[in-house]
Structure formats: C-alpha cells, structure tokens
Chain A
Amino acid sequence: MEISNVILEMKHISKHFPGVKALDDVSLTVRAGTVHAVMGENGAGKSTLMKCAFGIYQPDEGEILVNGKTVRFTDTRDAIDQGISMIHQELQVVRSRNVMENVWLGRIPHKKALGIKWVDQKTMYINTVKLFEGLGIEIDPRTVLARLSVSYCQLIEIARAISCDARVIIMDEPTSSLSENEAELLFKIIRQLTSQGVAIIYISHKIEAILQIADEVTIMRDGMCVGSWPANELDNSKIINRMVGREMTSRFPRRDYEAGDVYLEVEHLTSANPKSFRDVSFAVRRGEIFGIGGLIGAQRTEMVESIFGLREVKSGRIIKDGKQLRITCPRDAIRNGFALLTEERRETGIIPMLSIVENTVIANQTINRKRYTGGRLFLRKKRRSEDTQKFIEALQIKTPSLLTQIKYLSGGNQQKVVLARWLLTEPDILILDEPTRGIDIGAKFEIYSLLVEMAKQGKSIIIVCSEMPELIGMSDRVMVMCEGRVSGFLEGDQIQDQSIMHLASSYMNTATEGNGGENEYESKK
C-alpha cells in the first residue's frame, strides 16, 4: 500500500461523561485516499470518537489535526468547513422534497432580484447532474425522495458531503439497512471517492464488508484503542478476537438439525397492497430455524408483518398445527402463539421513555391480563418485576435497574429487552426480522444461542435476515424472496452465498431496481 498523506489525525483523545470514561487516550490516523475502518463492540467508544471528530462532542484531552494543523471544533459547522462530513446511521434527509433540494439543503443556488433570493432551479439541476456524473449515481435529481429506497437516500447524503468539498467522510454503519446489491453499489462509490483522494472512516460491525473495503482497521474496546492494522493483515477471527478480547471459536452456535412435524403452513398469502407480496407459500417445522433471504424490496418484512396481523391480506391461509387461523390484528397473532421482533427497533420496538419493566411486560399483559391483575382491579407490581427480573438474568441484560428508561441501554441490551418481551408470551412461533441489526458481536452470539435453544425446545423460528453469514450460519432451511414472490427454497449444503444471491435476483430483469424501494416506502406508510 502506498503511503499517502495523513489528512486527519486524532491524538490521545479522552472524553468523560458523568460516571463514565467514554474515551481513554485514543489515537487515530487517517490517510487521504484510503478507507479506514473503526471497529469495536457497542459501547467501545467508536461513535463518541467520531462525534469528537465531527464536532458534536469536544474532547476533554488530546488534539485533532487536519492536514497537520491543530483544529478545535466547537460545532459540526466547523468540522464541515475543515472538510469533514458524517453520514449518520439515521439518514438526515427530507423525504418529502426532491433529490436536488436535499443535496443542496441549506445552500440552494439562488439569484438575487428585488432584494429577495430566488431559487435557481436550472443551476441546481445542472450542478446536481454534474455531481452525480462524477460519482456514477444515476438518479433523476427531480425525483421526490419518498419514492426512493433507503440506499438511494444514503447516496444522496454522500453526494451532499462531496458537494461540500468533504475530504474526510465518516460513515456510521452505512450498510445496515442495505441489501447486498445496494451495499455493492455503495462500495463502488466509496472506491471512486478514494481514487479521488477522499478519506473514508467506516464504522461497522460487519467484518466481511470491512475486509472487502477497508485499507486500514482500528479496533477499539472499552473506550480504548486496541490498535491499528492494515486490513490485509487481518481476517475474521483476528478481528473478532481483538474486538472482544477473547477467543470466540465460532460466530454461530453449533447444533444438529432435527426438525419435527410441519407446524406452520402459509398458503398463497397475497397482500392487499398490489405492489407488495403475492402468492407466498411455505411451511415451517417444529424445531426448525427457517431463514427468509432476499434483497431490499423483496417484501419480506411486509410478508411477516402480514402474518402477524399488522398489514392487510387479500387472500391466503395461515395454518398452525393443522388449524386454520384468522388473524386480523397483532393481538390475534399473539394469542395464537406468534411473536414478531420487528425490524426497526426504535420505530416499532422500544418505547424509549418507559422503564425496562414496562417494555418487557407490555405484550404479555395484553393477552394474559389475569397474570398481572390476579383477577382484581389493580396491577400486581411484584409479578411484573419478577417476570422482568427473570429475563434480565436469563438474557444477561445489562441495566442499572428495572426502572431504568430503556433509552439509556445500549442497542444490544435494548434488543434483548424486546426479545424478552416476546419470550415472556411463550410463543410457539417466533418471527425475527433482522434480529441482530446494529448490535455487537457478543450480544449477537447470545441471541443466536437463545434461538438455537428455543428451536431445541421444539419451537418454530423464522428469521428474516439480510446479512448473508447470519442467514447461512443460522438457518436450517432458507426461503428466498424476490420482488414480492418466493423465488426458491434452499436446504443444507445448498445454503450458500451464490445460490441465495442467484435466487434473490431471479425476477430482477422484469422490474426496475428503484421500483422495489418505492414499494418498500409506500407500503410502510
């Protein structure tokens, strides 16, 4: 690797928060034209470090140098002026406005006349087209963002950063909501940017992606820097060992597949939304972990949410244990032994300002009222705490107390609380939509082990998963969806990267790429 100029240097950064030392003497050196990955479990301090680099936080100790000059950022504007941009995990776009207005947000080209700044649509359009050409992005600048998928919104944020003359772009989990295809597109753009001398700081839990794209890797643990290495000296297990500081022989718990009788049958399920899924049929056995793969826009989330009664179904049957069910709302589903861990933890999972207890018992108390009232009028506080405590221990949820508001927990612990919520209802069929998104490896493994344990108890587990290794590592059988249809099933040794990708894109020729994303957004609304 050619040694290029150091563009951003962070030296001996420390940052304290009340009661916590979030960063302890961390240094980071980023060279122009490279991708520098920062890795670590949740709570390792990656985000805090990046927030220091982007001027959201001010470090207590240490200095930041841009192009060799010491800088002090008091807010993000200072950082942007020095050529540093950040693409947040939650995209900062205005969905109701069009692409070019989003790109030039706050800096819309204008002409002055009569003392008023008039929007210069033409210049804005031309500038956007030029910018997109340079990046190889093919989107009509006049498209309203609501019509585009998340991945395109992300590209627009990147374009915005470039248009601000960013020399360093920080990307926080950029592929967490992208399918493999879309991630590939992002990588292409990243390579293009680095060839133009831009440095990318890439924060992610996804080791495969990092090994593919990064030049250098810095690993953090507990607010400290473990070290930095060229990416080609690292591999999967080296990264994991350095991140967790312990040997982890396997990322997925081992087990033998011994599925029982068919337990859940879904027949010809068709969405009421004509743009969504149609004619989906599959069967899941007892004790089976059933994976559902596909790209974004494959309508997997819509499909499982329809089974759970969250979305309207036009036709089709759901049969559990030989009996046909009528599910029109989540409560019906829960009563019939279903549980659904939804895709977006913040949107549809946690209730941020309520306590761990409230977040844990919420689902069970809607169906098992008597358990919490004992047939009386008032709640039995003790029973609620006991149930919660049981799962805090079983799932090793780290929380200061039962009454802590859930928003103060880390992503992994929040996810465990939501999982506890569902385990408390003692489901027969557990559906998990992207169960390990944005949570650290340690917590991931614990969740995997738990799922295996549940499968052993004869429950049926359905996982919707976009992360290839997870889908392959966990599933006994895989159903792949494409454009709202089932494109195939895989079993045993057939479950491989290529076979899944092949099926996931099998109907792609018939529809345009943007279309899938469009459905995704519209049906979400």
Chain B
Amino acid sequence: MEEKTSMKAKSKFDLRLFLMNNAIYAIMLVMIALVVAVKPSFFSIRVLRDILMQSSVRIVVALGCMFVIISGSADLSGGRIVGLTAVIAGTLAEQSTYYLKYYANLPELPAFVPLLVAVLVGAALGIFNGLVVSKLKVPAFLATLGTAMLAFGISNLYMDAEPNNSQPLGSFTDNFKALGSGSFHDIPYILLIAVFCVAIVWILQNKTILGKEVFAVGGNMEAAKVSGINVLKIQLFTFAIAGALYGLGGCLEAARTGSGTASYGTGYELDAIAACIIGGCSAGGGVGGVGGVVAGVIIFNIMSYGLTFIGLSPYWQYVAKGVIIIAAVAIDVRKYAKKN
C-alpha cells in the first residue's frame, strides 16, 4: 500500500524540481534568446560554428576537471598543464624551415606525434598529482596548486632555452595547423575531437565499473573503501585521466591558435571548475555528468561571444560569470538541502 502511494507521488511531474535539475539548459536557452533578441544575426551557422570551436578546447579541459570533482577532489593544475603541453606540442610541430626551430635537427613530424606527447606529458603530471594526493595525503587543493606552479615554471624554463629565448612559438607544420583549423565537411576537426572525448568520457563514466567507482569514492570515500574499492587507484586514475585531457587540450590550443607561449591556458582551470559546478557537479563530489559540463562550457562561451556581439564590453563577461557561478552554487545547495 504504502509503496504504491509513494511511487505515485514520485512519478508525478514536479515542474520546480524539473527546472532545478535542468536549470543549466534553461539558462543556456534564455541567454541565446536574449542575444538573438538584440541581434537576430547571432542566429547563424557561422556564429554557432565559432562558438563550438572556441568551446572545444574548454570542453576537453572541463571533462578532465569533472572527473576529479566527481571523485571528491579539486584540481587547480589544469590551466598550467594546458600551457606546458601547448608549448611542448608546439615545439614538436615547427616547420623545418623555421629559423628559430626549437629542435633544429628534428624532421617534420605528423600531427599525431606532438598530440600524443602532449597527452602523455599531461597524464604524467596528472599521475604526479594523484600520487601526491593519494600517497602523500596532501589535500588536493594544495597538491594541484603546487603542480600548477611547477608546470608553469617548467614551461617558462622550456620556452626560455636556446634558441627560443621566450619567443612565442610559430611556423607550425601544415598538418598540425589543420588539426586546429581544418574541418571535415564543414565540421572542424577540433570539434570532432571534443565530441569524441565527450562520448568516451560518457561511456567511461556510465558504462564501466571504473566510472561507477569514481562516483562511489566521491560520494563517500570511507564507504567505498569498506566495500573493497581501491581508493588510491581511483584517485590516481581520475587525476591521470584529467591530466591526459589537459594535455590534449594544450595541444589543440596550440594548433587552434597556431602559436604557443608559457602563459597559454592561464585561468582555464578556474573556468573548467566553474563550468563543472554550474553544470551540476556537486562541489563535495559524487554527483555530476557530461551533459551539464558541456552545457556549462558553452554557456560561458555564448556569454563572452554574445556580449561582444551585441556591443558590450567583453569585460562584462567576468561580472556575469561571477554572478552565474554564485547563483548556480546557491541553487545547488538548495537543491540538496530541500530534499534532506
């Protein structure tokens, strides 16, 4: 009896709950509507393509960040790992005719080589993060802050070495540039890569035991431990995946912009965390999903693009971002408080 009535109560459509759970998509639509209302020409394939292209790298970085947040940790090293891997990938992709070529004797490499190296370097730094957090028991917030500084230092030293002397990188090979700006039937490669990452991460998260264990560790680490989950392994895994995705992001960023400096990726980690949080990841861990994170990234990009488009100072985007983040977390906190 009791069961039946409660089931009925649950299955009834609750508009408020629905809006709360899907607020992110509603916000996205409202924002698009607002910009279109001011400038109808915003609603075009070209603009959409631009926004998605700009979002691609951010999505890749945010996906990595999401894994760490769901596992109950924090990762502040994302932006600097993007910077380091961008310059490493860049130096491996320079044309042989370039007079400042970093590795003068290196032949021109196919684009996947710098990409792979960047991913591996990112993963290595991620594993380093993971080891510091899980083995040395340094709080993730501080461990990754340390790694961020370390990565920034290394990328500056790397860029400062002869013959580069801190010059921005340039003169990339054609196939590396194509990775960033080329397209397949009008769909940019870079967007395809981002979509591919989204799919892989979604599958990993929802269809594998590993993914389920990440949620469990983030939800209640002690309970996960008692249930036989190797918490150390999960932590290492989440940071490694995150690092690999940052590395991929760094390489794509260099390819997209056709250049590279040590300051690439500055602030990306905070944007990624913000996108995760407004995308429904709980700051405490255990909750989150790919859809929300992607929407979160796109929202921020629509905002910066849209504001410029309607002729407002782009600096307004920071004001708006701040408001959105605080509002999103305030809603989130209420969402969980209400039900308890």
Interface residues of A (CB under 8 A from B): 18-20, 308, 310, 329-331, 333-334, 340, 342, 347-354, 358, 362-363, 365-367, 369, 372-373, 377-379, 398-401, 404-405, 407-408, 421
Ordered by A's residue number, 23 sampled pairs between the chains whose C-beta atoms are within 8 Å are: A18-B9, A19-B6, A331-B229, A331-B230, A334-B227, A347-B220, A350-B223, A351-B219, A351-B223, A353-B219, A354-B219, A362-B212, A362-B213, A362-B227, A363-B228, A369-B209, A373-B209, A377-B208, A398-B2, A398-B3, A399-B3, A400-B9, A407-B339
B residues 74-91 in Cβ contact with A at 8 Å: none
Interface size range on B against A: 20 to 34
Please, what's the 1-or-0 string for B309-340, where 1 marks a CB less than 8 Å from any CB in chain A? 00000000000000000000000000010011
B8, chain A: closest CB distance, angstroms: 8
Chain B residues, CB < 8 A from A348: 220, 222-223, 225-226
B10 is an interface residue with CB less than 8 A from chain A: yes
Which residues of B sit under 8 angstroms from A372, Cβ to Cβ?
A: 209
- Interface residue from A342, A351, A367, A378 paired with B228 (Cβ < 8 Å): A367
Which residue in chain B gives the minimum CB-CB distance to A347? Answer: B222
B189 to chain A, nearest CB (A): 26
CB distance from A427 to the nearest CB of B (A): 12
Q: Are B228 and A354 in contact (CB under 8 A)?
A: no
Question: For chain B, what secondary structure do more than half of its interface residues adopt (helix, strand, loop), or is it mixed?
Answer: helix
Q: Are A351 and B2 in contact (CB under 8 A)?
A: no
Q: Are B226 and A358 in contact, with the CB atoms below 8 A?
A: no
Residue from the list B5, B10, B226, B229 in contact with A340, Cβ < 8 A: B226
Output the least CB separation between A484 and chain B (Å).
Answer: 22
Partner of B220, one of A352, A365, A369, A400: A352
CB-CB contacts below 8 Å: B278-322 with A: 282, 286-287
Q: In the complex, A354 Cα to B212 Cα: how many Å?
A: 10
Which of B3, B6, B208, B215 contacts A358, CB < 8 Å?
Answer: B215
Is there contact, CB below 8 Å, between A334 and B208? no
Chain A residue nearest to B220 in the complex (CB)? A351
Given A358-B215, A398-B2, A421-B227, CB of A350 within 8 Å of CB of B209: no
Partner of A366, one of B10, B227, B340: B227
**Interface pair B216/A354, CB less than 8 Å apart:** yes
State in angstroms the CA–CA spacing of A398 and B2 once bound together: 9
**In the assembled complex, how far is the CB of residue A364 from the closest CB belonging to chain B, in whole angstroms?**
9
B46 on interface, CB distance cutoff 8 Å? no
Cβ B228 vs Cβ A330 within 8 A: yes
Q: Is B136 an interface residue (CB 8 A)?
A: no
Q: Mark B6-32, 1 if CB is under 8 A from A, else 0.
A: 110110000000000000000000000
Q: Does A379 contact B209, Cβ atoms closer than 8 Å?
A: yes
Instruction: Give 11 new A-B contacts, CB below 8 A, not counting A334-B227, A349-B223.
Output: A18-B9, A310-B226, A333-B228, A351-B220, A354-B215, A354-B216, A362-B224, A362-B227, A362-B229, A363-B228, A366-B209
Does B207 belong to the interface (CB within 8 Å)? yes
Are B7 and A351 in contact (CB-based, < 8 A)? no
A167→B9 CA distance, assembly (Å): 40
Known contacts A330-B228, A348-B222, A378-B207: A365-B212 contact under CB 8 Å? yes
**Which chain B residue shows the least CB distance to A19?**
B9
A408 with B339: CB separation less than 8 A = yes
Q: Which of B7, B203, B207, B225 contacts A401 (CB 8 A)?
A: B7
Q: Which residues of B contact A366 (CB under 8 A)?
A: 209, 213, 227-229
Chain B residues 178 to 231 lying within 8 A of chain A, measured CB to CB, are 203, 207-209, 212-213, 215-216, 219-220, 222-230
Residues of B within 8 A of A365 (CB): 209, 212
Nearest residue, chain B, Cβ from A333: B228
The proximity string for B residues 57-87 relative to A, scoring 1 for CB distances below 8 Å and 0 otherwise, is: 0000000000000000000000000000000
Q: Using Cβ atoms and an 8 Å threshold, which residues of chain A touch B9?
A: 18-20, 400
Q: What's the minimum C-beta distance from A287 to chain B, rounded to whole angstroms?
A: 26
Give the residue name and chain of the A residue nearest to B9 (CB). A19
Q: A400 and B227: CB pair below 8 A?
A: no
Q: How many A-B residue pairs have CB under 8 A?
A: 103
CB distance from B6 to the nearest CB of A (A): 5
- In the bound assembly, the distance between CA atoms of A372 and B224 in angstroms comes to 18
- In the complex the two chains form, what is the Cα distance from A518 to B229 in whole Å? 29
Expressed in whole angstroms, the Cα–Cα distance for A381 and B100 within the complex equals: 56
B5 CB, min distance to chain A CBs, angstroms: 8
Q: Are the CB atoms of B212 and A379 closer together than 8 Å?
A: yes
Q: Are B286 and A354 in contact (CB under 8 A)?
A: yes
Q: Shortest CB–CB separation between residue A312 and chain B, in angstroms?
A: 14
What CA separation (Å) do A351 and B71 show in the bound complex? 12
| Chain B CB within 10 Å, residue with most, of A308, A350, A400 | A400
Cβ–Cβ contact A353 & B227, under 8 A: no
Closest to A421 in B: B227
> Which of chain A's residues has its CB closest to B203's CB?
A378
Note all chain A residues with C-beta closer than 8 A to B286: 351-354
Q: Are A358 and B225 in contact, CB atoms less than 8 angstroms apart? A: no
Most-contacted residue by chain A among B208, B227, B282 (CB, 10 A) = B227
In the assembled complex, how far is the CB of residue B327 from the closest CB belonging to chain A, in whole angstroms?
21
Contact A401 B208 (CB under 8 A): no
What are the residues of chain A within 8 A of B287 when measuring CB–CB? 353
Distance from A524 Cβ to chain B, minimum over Cβ atoms (Å): 10
Cα(A401)–Cα(B224), bound, Å: 22
* Nearest 9 pairs of A and B residues by beta carbon: A19-B9, A351-B219, A366-B228, A331-B228, A363-B227, A348-B222, A378-B207, A351-B220, A400-B10
A334: chain B residues within 8 A (beta carbon): 227-228
What A residues does B203 contact at CB under 8 A? 378
Residues of A within 8 A of B339 (CB): 405, 407-408
Report yes or no: B207 in contact with A362, Cβ–Cβ below 8 A: no
A224 → B minimal CB distance (Å): 15
Chain A residues in 8 Å Cβ range of B208: 373, 377-379
Q: What separation, in Å, do the CA atoms of A347 and B203 have in the docked complex?
A: 30
Question: Is A400 a contact of B3 with CB atoms below 8 Å?
Answer: yes
A401 with B230: CB separation less than 8 A: no
Q: Which chain B residue has the least Cβ–Cβ distance from A340? A: B226
| Interfacial chain B residues near A358, Cβ < 8 Å | 212, 215-216
**Given A334-B228, A353-B282, A401-B10, residue A362 in contact with residue B222 (CB < 8 A):** no
B152 to chain A, nearest CB (A): 34
Q: How many angstroms between the C-alpha atoms of A378 and B203 in the bound complex?
A: 8
CA gap between A133 and B227 in the complex, in Å? 46
In the assembled complex, the Cα of A340 lies from the Cα of B222 at a distance in Å of: 13
CA of A333 to CA of B229, assembled, Å:
12
A112–B230 CA distance with the chains assembled, in angstroms: 54
Residues of chain A within 8 A of B282, CB atoms compared: 353
B209 and A330 contact, CB distance less than 8 A: no
B10 — which chain A residues lie within 8 A by C-beta? 400-401, 404
With a cutoff of 8 Å between Cβ atoms, the chain B residues found around residue A354 in the complex are 215-216, 219, 286
Query: Closest residue to A361 on the B side, CB-wise?
Result: B212
Residues of the B chain whose Cβ atoms lie less than 8 Å from the Cβ of A349: 223, 226
Cα distance, A362 to B208, chains bound together (Å): 12
Q: A353-B286, A365-B212 are in contact. Are A330 and B226 (CB under 8 A)?
A: yes
Residues of A within 8 A of B229 (CB): 331, 362, 366
